[in-house]
Structure formats: C-alpha cells, structure tokens
Amino acid sequence: MMSLKQEIDAAILKAQRLEVQTASGMQVWHVWNASAGKPLVLLHGGSGSWNHWVRNVLPLSQSRAVWALDTPGLGDSELPIGAEDADDLSVPLAQGLIALFNEVPVDIVGFSFGGLMAGFLAAQQSSLIKRMVLVGVPGLGLSNNIPNMRGFRVGMTSEERMAIHRNNLLAIMVHDENHISSDLLAMQDHNVLRDRLRRRRIARSDVLLSLQNQWKCEVHGIWGEKDALYEGSLHLLPELLSGCQLMNLDVIEGAGHWVQFEAADAFNHILLARLPIE
C-alpha cells in the first residue's frame, strides 16, 4: 500500500502543470489525460490545493480529462487584487475556464469552499457549466459550528503546528483518525501556509439558497455521512436544494467532510456514474 506521499508523487508524475495567465492573475492548473476530452474540472476546498483530489485524479482520468485548479489565492495560484471570499472568485474562475475551454461548458465538481465558488459561477455565468456536483458544500444555512478548531501562533514549533493540524483535521475534515498520517499533516501544513484568503465568511451564510434559483445546469450532491458540518441535518438537504435541478444526492457511509479522500473508491464510482460521458 502506497503512502500518501507516494500517492501525491504518482499523481504529479502523470500530470501536466499549466500556468494560465488571466486578467486576475496567474492560475495553476494540473491536468491528467488531457487528450481524452470531455473535461472534468475539480475545485478544492478552503486552505487547500489540487491535492485535495489526490485519491481521485488518477482513477477519474481513466475515462475523463481531469483538470484540477489551485484556487486563486490558494495553492500556487496568485491572489486576485482585492479578493477575500468566494464571491470575489467567480470572475477569475470564469477567466481561467474561458482561457482553457473557449466558453465550452464543462462538468464542475466543487468540494466545500470550491462548491461555494462553483455556486456563484453557476449563478453569474451559467453558460460555462454543463453539470455541477456539490461535495459537502457550505453556504446552505445549516453548517454546524466547530468549537474545537484551534489557531496558530507566531513562533510555534513544527511539532506544535502538526498537533494543531491533527486536531483541526479530526474536528472538521476526516471522521476516522486512521487516515491521519505524518504525510497528511505535512500536506496540510504546506497548503495552509499558502492560504491568502484570510477573511472568508460566506461559508457560514445561506447564500446558495437564493443563488440556486439562477442555476441552469443539472446538479448532483455527494456528502459524507459523518460530515461534521452537517451532523444531524443531512436529511434536510433535498428540500433545501429544491430550487435547482437536483438530480441525485448521494451520502457515503462512514465518511467525513473530506469524503473524496476518506472514501475515495466509493466517491469515484458514484461521481463517474452521475456524470456519464455523453
């Protein structure tokens, strides 16, 4: 069984890294199997990068061209001037998509903050999205408060930082602590250090409830049964998303918020079934 570092290295080895210049700054994209066509665009979560999809890109690219963005202001992509939250990123995202796909609509999968960003794009530039999959997305007015999250202080040792990452990953991202390894802590630290979107607040709102009325694409949802943000309220999601073309809402047993990492095989199977190649 490969370590997480080996999984990351294997994914990078098969990826093409692209730096896409847009009016909002340089964006870094990774693409697998670009010649396959039928692009599948992956948008990662907050304080993350393309590697939120490390267990998905290779299996998904067996049949699809998989494009994973480092969200502007996160990972290796530049921070657009004045950008602070998801509503500031729909224009940069549209610019990147147009540069790559010439306004041809594509399938988009948005995890957590990435799903929130996709929701703004679907409302403001619906012609760019063919089908949208929301994965553990916030912004529906249900997200639980996570009281045991801990912050960082200047001058912390590496050991202290890793302890906080472990605490926070268990608090919000993964349900089973056996998924937490030294490689995962190192990946999380690398991602968090590159997070320049420091004032995110929209995730705690119910903004998607009104935006969904402007979505023109079909919508699918995938959630982890043990998602800490939605404990006790997953059953409310179909009614809350009744204002859009919700086709399916799949809940994967035993998985937390970061469902595509914690239950990768089940997630990949469901995603490909919900987005058949046309």
Residue 254, domain CATH: 3.40.50.1820
Residue among 219, 13, 18 at smallest CA distance from 108: 219
Alpha helices in 64-157 (DSSP H): 90-101, 113-124
Look at the block and give the residue holding tokens 């199977």: 269
pLDDT higher than 80, residue 278: no
Q: Which of 175, 184, 191 is nearest to 223 (CA)?
A: 175
Q: Would you place residue 152 in the very low, low, confident or very high pLDDT band (cuts 50, 70, 90)?
A: confident
Average pLDDT over every residue of 186-210: 93
Segments forming the whole domain that contains residue 97:
4-274
Mean per-residue pLDDT over the chain, rounded = 96
Distances (CA, A) of 92 to 79, 89, 173, 231: 10, 5, 26, 33
Q: Provide the CB-side half-sphere exposure for 95 (13 A, CA).
A: 17
Buried b (16+ CB within 10 A) or exposed e, 222-246: bbbbbbbbbeeebeebeebbeebeb
Helix axes 90-101, 113-124, angle to 10 degrees: 80
Convert the pLDDT of each residue in 26-46 to its tens digit.
999 999 999 998 999 999 999
Query: Is residue 183 within 8 Å of residue 5, measured between CB atoms?
Result: yes
- What single-letter DSSP state applies at residue 275? S
Helices (H), 32-157: 57-60, 90-101, 113-124
Hey, what are 195's tokens?
Answer: 């997070």
Token reading at 100: 């790559």
Q: What is the pLDDT of residue 37?
A: 86
Query: Looking at the 3D structure of the chain, how many domains does it have?
Result: 1
> If you average pLDDT over residues 130-141, what whole number do you get?
97
User: Distance between CA atoms of 188 and 131, rounded to whole angstroms?
Assistant: 29
- Give me the numbers of helices (H) and strands (E) for the chain, helices first please: 10, 8
What pLDDT shows up at residue 146? 85
Surface-to-core class of residue 207, CB atoms within 10 Å of its CB (0-12 exposed, 13-18 middle, 19+ buried): buried
At residue 198 the predicted structure's pLDDT band, cuts being 50, 70 and 90, is confident
